[in-house]
Structure 1
Amino acid sequence: MNTPAYLNALRAFEAAARHLSFSAAAAELHVTSAAVGQQVRTLESWLGVPLFTRASSGTARLVLTEVARQALPDIREGFDRLRLGVARLKEGALGTGLTVTVSPAFAAKWLLPRIEHFQRAHPQTDVLLDTNLRPVDFIAEGMDIGVRYGAGHWPGLVATPLMDEDLYPVCAPTYPLLEQGRLPLERLAEATLIHDLSMAGDPQYPTWRTWLDASGFPGVNAEHGLRINNSAAVLQAAIDGQGLALGRSVMLRDDLRAGRLVRPFGEASRPLAFAYYIVHRPEVADLAKVKAFREWLLAQAASDRQP
């Protein structure tokens, strides 16, 4: 087997092993499922060992053989090193691209209003921003760096703390129930509650029910209101006067400063167990473009903490 065919077969095997599916690997590699299967069979023939068996349930799901399972980490590391080598070569060119993955809400409410400062400081770096509600696969999707919200532990990624957060209610300054910028407690039950469903899958994340109980309002109904699965859209609904939102301080900062939102119960807030983290693969930590963006993010966060 010549070198290009050998590398293509290994690439097909690695993708199929990661997805445990020829069809999913084919979608990633932009080829047919039959082509992936043929590449894997060619590799098995050349090696003289089987790499997959079919799942006993009769589904299309693949099962790695023991020898394939043991070899897979080294093959993945090899492809990672190749990608890193190509990235270093590209850094020698006049222009270089930086792929950044963040959630749509973080992009809209924090990153995009500030990204011009990075582009002015690094005009040779073209930023490709990928906004996703789901955590992306940094290797499969070619991501250099990103910002994630959570507890700080993601397998295979280095996580650097960026910003902590507090949680508190906000609304538009023109919200009809306000009296001199505050919401009378006796009128809280009349307010429309805007629910953020973007973290609904995590039972530790506070909800309106959590906040009401902790604030001494167990009798207020927390089941009614408007439900939205995007944090930026939740805040926009509050800005538009649709009701009260439980806002996260990082997302809120610019809207509060601009007067688009107010805190109808004063300065009381609840710290969140989750925070924002800069994440990247360990092998790209020393790339100049990754270091530059990481340091810029940290500087922006430090600036935001200033009074």
Structure 2
Amino acid sequence: MITPRRFLPSISSLLALEAVDRLGSASAAAAELSLTQSAISRQLKTMEDQLGVQLIERSQMRLHLTPAAKVYVQTARSAVQELARAALKLKANPAGGSLDLSILPAFGMHWLAPRLQDFARRHPEVTVNLGTRLRPFDFASEPFDAAIHFGQQDWTGVQYLPIMREEVLPVCAPALTNVNFDTLDTLCAAPLLHLDSRPDAWERWFEMQGQSVTGLRGMMFDQFSTMIQATIHGLGVALVPSYLVQDDLRSGRLVKAWDGPYVSLGSYYLVWPNDRSTPEPLRSFQGWISEQLEPDTSL
């Protein structure tokens, strides 16, 4: 049941309280909301009378939120932001049906984006909104219905739909091959490039080759795209997913730095929270993405 109306302040009062808290004065809040200072003061007084709680401390012509009001305004701000997001969704798709999906940049650009036109054609009733998150998050505090996750099934509180296994290989610019990476020791001594969301990737790769190494250092990148460009320009050897560098290998911009089999350090999954009902747009996306999968059942 919805909370009794007497406990629900008006949106205009909430906006006034939020603006005073954020901007520090009634005059600044009035300017932002295109109101007068007296209008701001009336909104705040109305809210205090309605809730029966002091919200504002007035001193030397300045307004300050009480400690209790500061706690309250954090929740109010989140609620107003959620309402604004809902309004944007409604405006973007008046017929209803939107999917807020968190993606990983490289996977989203190279695997998902080329396929999304097919989803849009087959499900015109669904608007897909994409946002980037590099690591697992709390669905209760983030505005997403589902997410693309890489690694193992170690994200708690979610359900998993396997998408594909990722295989990685060491690559470098052709000019670096004169170093002659013919042993794991020479490769280990090379300038190795690292991704900050996978800080132990090289150590795990060497372990799979039968050699234990620790403390590997080198340049750090936050995305595969910039790391691959650095590799093309000869800054070092990168450990990258094979699907990201197929064109660069074919064109000769990159070459394999080690002539061994590809190895897998993890898989991609579609994940969604298991403590809420599955909205229909997500059901449509789950069904569609299942049809895009490779016939690999070993994930």
- Report the count of equivalent residues: 268
- Alpha-carbon distance, 1:107 to partner: 1.8
- Alpha-carbon distance, 1:206 to partner: 1.9
- Alpha-carbon distance, 1:82 to partner: 11
- C-alpha spacing 1:217/1:305, structure 2 compared with 1 (3 Å): same
* 1:291 to 2:291 alignment: no
- C-alpha spacing 1:116/1:49, structure 2 compared with 1 (3 Å): same
Tell me how far apart the structure 1 counterparts of residues 125 and 256 of structure 2 sit (CA, whole Å): 40
After TM superposition, the structure 1 = structure 2 runs for residues 112-127 of structure 1, keeping only pairs within 5 Å, are: 112-127=113-128
- Alpha-carbon distance, 1:160 to partner: 2.8
Tell me how far apart the structure 2 counterparts of residues 23 and 281 of structure 1 sit (CA, whole Å): 35
Tell me how far apart the structure 2 counterparts of residues 109 and 83 of structure 1 sit (CA, whole Å): 28
Tell me the C-alpha RMSD between the 2 structures.
5.5
Tell me how far apart the structure 1 counterparts of residues 239 and 139 of structure 2 sit (CA, whole Å): 31
- C-alpha spacing 1:280/1:266, structure 2 compared with 1 (3 Å): same
Identity %: 21
Tell me how far apart the structure 1 counterparts of residues 202 and 185 of structure 2 sit (CA, whole Å): 17
- C-alpha spacing 1:283/1:133, structure 2 compared with 1 (3 Å): same
Tell me how far apart the structure 1 counterparts of residues 50 and 72 of structure 2 sit (CA, whole Å): 14
Of the candidates 199, 202, 213, which is equivalent to residue 218 of structure 1?
213
- Alpha-carbon distance, 1:104 to partner: 2.3
- Alpha-carbon distance, 1:173 to partner: 8.0
- C-alpha spacing 1:236/1:296, structure 2 compared with 1 (3 Å): farther
- C-alpha spacing 1:131/1:113, structure 2 compared with 1 (3 Å): same
Give the secondary-structure state (helix, strand or coil) at the position aligned to 1:303: coil
- Alpha-carbon distance, 1:98 to partner: 4.1
After TM superposition, the structure 1 = structure 2 runs for residues 1-307 of structure 1, keeping only pairs within 5 Å, are: 6-8=9-11, 22-23=21-22, 42-49=46-53, 93=95, 97-133=98-134, 143-149=144-150, 151-153=154-156, 158-163=158-163, 165=165, 168-172=168-172, 174=174, 176-177=176-177, 183-185=182-184, 187-197=186-196, 199=197, 206-212=200-206, 215-216=210-211, 218=213, 222-224=216-218, 226-238=219-231, 242-247=235-240, 249=241, 252-253=242-243, 255-256=245-246, 259-260=249-250, 262=256, 264-267=258-261, 269=263, 271-272=265-266, 276-279=269-272, 285-287=278-280, 289-300=281-292, 302-303=293-294, 305=296
- Alpha-carbon distance, 1:124 to partner: 4.7
Q: TM-score, normalised to structure 2's length?
A: 0.59
Amino acid of the residue matched to residue 120 of structure 2? Q
Cα pair 1:109 1:232 within 8 Å, conserved: no
Which structure has the greater CA radius of gyration? Answer: 2
- Alpha-carbon distance, 1:223 to partner: 1.9
- Alpha-carbon distance, 1:86 to partner: 10
Amino acid of the residue matched to residue 258 of structure 2? P
- Alpha-carbon distance, 1:143 to partner: 4.2
Give the secondary-structure state (helix, strand or coil) at the position aligned to 2:286: helix
Tell me how far apart the structure 2 counterparts of residues 42 and 137 of structure 1 sit (CA, whole Å): 35
* Unaligned segments of structure 2, at least 5 residues: 24-31, 58-63
Deviation string for 1:128-187 (max 9, x for gaps)?
Answer: 333355778878875444324463236xxx44343465564421584642899x844353
- Alpha-carbon distance, 1:211 to partner: 4.1
- Alpha-carbon distance, 1:118 to partner: 1.5
* Unaligned segments of structure 1, at least 5 residues: 25-30, 54-59
- Alpha-carbon distance, 1:111 to partner: 1.6
Cα pair 1:172 1:262 within 8 Å, conserved: yes
Which residue of structure 2 aligns with residue 28 of structure 1? none
Amino acid of the residue matched to residue 162 of structure 2? L
- Alpha-carbon distance, 1:297 to partner: 2.6
Tell me how far apart the structure 1 counterparts of residues 87 and 125 of structure 2 sit (CA, whole Å): 20
- C-alpha spacing 1:291/1:177, structure 2 compared with 1 (3 Å): same
Cα pair 2:103 2:147 within 8 Å, conserved: yes
